[in-house]
Amino acid sequence: AQSVTQPDIHITVSEGASLELRCNYSYGATPYLFWYVQSPGQGLQLLLKYFSGDTLVQGIKGFEAEFKRSQSSFNLRKPSVHWSDAAEYFCAVGNGQGGSEKLVFGKGTKLTVNP
Amino acid sequence: DTAVSQTPKYLVTQMGNDKSIKCEQNLGHDTMYWYKQDSKKFLKIMFSYNNKELIINETVPNRFSPKSPDKAHLNLHINSLELGDSAVYFCASSQETDYGYTFGSGTRLTVV
C-alpha cells in the first residue's frame, strides 16, 4: 500500500524567500506523485504532478518539484514566496490506475508567510 | 462554470439525523470520489465510482451510502449521524486518460 510522509507540519518563511516543502513516499511500483494546495475554506487545487519523463516538473503559480527515486522524495520548491502562497500544502501518491485511481495524501504542511 | 460543485457548503445537524450531500461535475470525467478531511486536515478516501459503478469502498461505517445516478453525479447519504462524523467532505473527479483529481470546494458537516 502506498503512503506519504510530510515531515514538516508547519513552515514559516519571509516574503521573497525561497521555499522547499518535503515529501517522502512509499510505493512498490512506479509512483504517480502530486502536490495540492488548499487555501483556508477552499478545496484542493492541483499544483503539479509527475508520473514519467523529466524528473523536474513545473507547475502553476511558479512552483516546481523534483522526483528523486533514490531518496523516495518529491519535494516542492519555489524560488520566491509571495504572501498569497500562505496555505496548506499536500503531497499525494497515486496508483496510476487512471479510471480507478486512489490517491493517498500526506498530513499536510502549513505555510505561513511573514511580510 | 464550477467544475466540481458540492451542496450544501455547510451543514449543521443533530446527532441521530440523516443527511445527504450532493456532488456534480461538468468535466465529463468518468470517475468520482468522496474524501473525508478530519479536524487535523488529514484526507482519507471513502468511496470511488467509475461510470456509476462502485470501485473503491474503504473501511467506512455502513451508515455512509454513496449513490451515483449517472456519471456526472455522486451523492453521499449518511444515516444516524454521530459526533465523530463532523468533518469536511470533499467530492472529486478524475479522467481515465489523465492523472490526479479535480476537487470540489467541500462540505463542512458539523454534528451537535
* Structural domains in chain A plus CATH codes: 3-114 (2.60.40.10)
CB A78 within 8 A of CB A21: no
> Can you spell out the DSSP letters for A40-72?
TT--EEEEEEESSS-SEEE-GGG-EEEEEGGGT
Higher pLDDT, A97 or A9: A9
Which of A74-78, A97-101, B33-37, B100-104 is predicted least confidently?
Answer: A97-101
Phi, psi (deg, nearest 5) at residue A9: -75, -40
Sign of the torsion formed by the C-alpha atoms of A75, B97, A2 and A47? positive
Longest CA–CA span in chain A (Å) reads 43
Select from B43, B48, B103 the Cβ nearest to the Cβ of A100. Answer: B48
Chain A closest-CA separation from residue B82 CA (Å): 23
d(C-alpha A112, C-alpha A11), whole Å: 6
> What is B4-111's CATH topology?
Immunoglobulin-like (2.60.40)
Chain A closest-CA separation from residue B41 CA (Å): 7
Q: What mean pLDDT is reported for chain A?
A: 92
CB B52 within 8 A of CB B70: yes
Residues constituting chain B: 112
Q: Any CB–CB contact under 8 A between A101 and chain B?
A: yes
Spell out the per-residue pLDDT of chain B, length 112, in tens.
Answer: 669 999 999 999 999 999 999 999 999 998 999 999 999 999 999 999 988 888 888 878 999 999 999 999 999 999 999 999 999 999 999 987 777 889 999 999 999 9
Which residues fall within 8 angstroms of residue B58, CB to CB, at 6 or more apart?
B44, B45, B46, B47
Domain positions in chain B are 4-111
Q: Any CB–CB contact under 8 A between A53 and chain B?
A: no
Give the count of beta carbons closer than 10 Å to the beta carbon of residue A35: 27
Residue of chain B minimizing CA distance to A95? B99
- Cβ pair B100:A45 closer than 8 A: no
- Cβ pair A34:B40 closer than 8 A: no
For residues A19-30, give the mean pLDDT.
Answer: 91
Q: Any CB–CB contact under 8 A between A108 and chain B?
A: yes
- Cβ pair B31:A100 closer than 8 A: yes
Mutate to test the interface with B, among A35, A101, A105 (most CBs of B within 10 A): A101
d(C-alpha A76, C-alpha A91), whole Å: 9
